[in-house]
Amino acid sequence: MSTLSKKRAALLERLRGLQSCAVAFSAGVDSTVVAKAAQLALGARAVAVTGVSASLAAGELEEARRLAELIGIRHEVINTEEMAKEAYTRNAPDRCYHCKTELYTQLEGVTERFAVDFVVNGANLDDTDDYRPGMRAASEHQVLSPLAECGITKAEVRELASAWDLPVWDKPAMPCLSSRVAYGEEVTPERLRMIDAAERFLRGRGFKEVRVRYHKGDLARVEVPLDALRQWGDPEFCQELTTAFKEIGFKFVTLDLEGFRSGSLNALVPLDLLVESSPIKK
């Protein structure tokens, strides 16, 4: 038996041992793999739950519904109110902690209605080595991370998704829109709308992996893969893009010459926060 096969077996066994669970389901590859595993392990005793707010990118709720139907898992939608919390909208480096605290608090409140005993998320082993304040919220709310517990890395998550014929196996990471707002700049529905519209414009022009980062003064810092930078040498394309971005609400548009990279705003996080531990709840 291959290493991945052993980890898959361990994942299914871990979920069976829970008897029932709610999966915090964002429609990303990690939570989709957990939802599939939960359906295989627990059947009707598993439910996928998607939290909806202004920070969810357009189309992601519909994607979650399609994936849940494909997997065959019950799907529920809850509204989260992180935008009503000043600790979230002020956008300090621990913003994700307040977002996940809201999500997990809401999930705790509906587990009885959904008839489940545990809440699980899609955190994988690689997430434990990054700055993830949301992991602290998971620990505080007794949310389990079965992928991380079973030693499954991001690459292995994608392998499992491919083996299970899940169409998101190669889907780029899609963290919430608020993650594009530079720390210290207030998170507002209007700024999230601008970011979402700008990223949809770029994806419509063929960019699969893209981030539009919001900085002070309505400045957009665009990240695309390095091999896609050559397209920016086309004056007509640049004119079309800047016109579209200004219509969206940005005043300035810049291209990041380091290219696309997840979590680039973490370069602004103070060192004492980066070294905080994020224990996985077992």
**C-alpha pair distances (Å), 38 with each of 20, 91, 121, 167:** 9, 33, 11, 17
DSSP per residue, 143-168:
-B-HHHHTT--HHHHHHHHHHTT-TT
Q: Are 243 and 254 in contact (CB under 8 A)?
A: no
CA 209 vs. chain centroid, Å, equals: 14
* Confidence band, pLDDT 50/70/90 cuts, at residue 173: confident
Q: Which of 93-102, 165-174, 262-271 has the lowest mean pLDDT?
A: 262-271
Predicted confidence at residue 231, as pLDDT, reads: 82
* Confidence band, pLDDT 50/70/90 cuts, at residue 93: very high
Average pLDDT, the chain: 91
* Confidence band, pLDDT 50/70/90 cuts, at residue 276: very low
Predicted confidence at residue 35, as pLDDT, reads: 98
Predicted confidence at residue 104, as pLDDT, reads: 96
Q: Are 250 and 220 in contact (CB under 8 A)?
A: yes
Predicted confidence at residue 275, as pLDDT, reads: 45
Predicted confidence at residue 267, as pLDDT, reads: 56
Helices (H) and strands (E) counted in the chain, each on its own, are 11, 7
Tens of pLDDT, residue by residue over 115-135, are 999 999 999 999 887 667 888
The set of residues, in sequence order, having a beta carbon less than 8 Å from that of 266 and lying 6+ positions away, is 93, 130, 131, 274
DSSP per residue, 28-52:
SHHHHHHHHHHHHHHGGGEEEEEEE
* Confidence band, pLDDT 50/70/90 cuts, at residue 168: very high
Alpha-carbon distance 30 to 67, whole Å? Answer: 12
* Confidence band, pLDDT 50/70/90 cuts, at residue 167: very high
Q: Which domains does the chain have, with CATH numbers?
A: 3-163 (3.40.50.620), 177-261 (3.30.300)
pLDDT at 97 over 70: yes
Backbone angles phi, psi at 73, to 5 degrees: -100, 145
The percentage of residues in the chain with a pLDDT greater than 70, rounded to a whole number, is 91
Predicted confidence at residue 105, as pLDDT, reads: 95
Tens of pLDDT, residue by residue over 40-79, are 999 999 999 999 999 999 999 999 999 999 999 999 999 9
Predicted confidence at residue 282, as pLDDT, reads: 41
Tens of pLDDT, residue by residue over 130-165, are 667 888 999 999 999 999 999 999 999 999 999 999
pLDDT at 271 over 80: no
3-state helix, strand, coil in the chain (%, to 5): 50, 15, 35
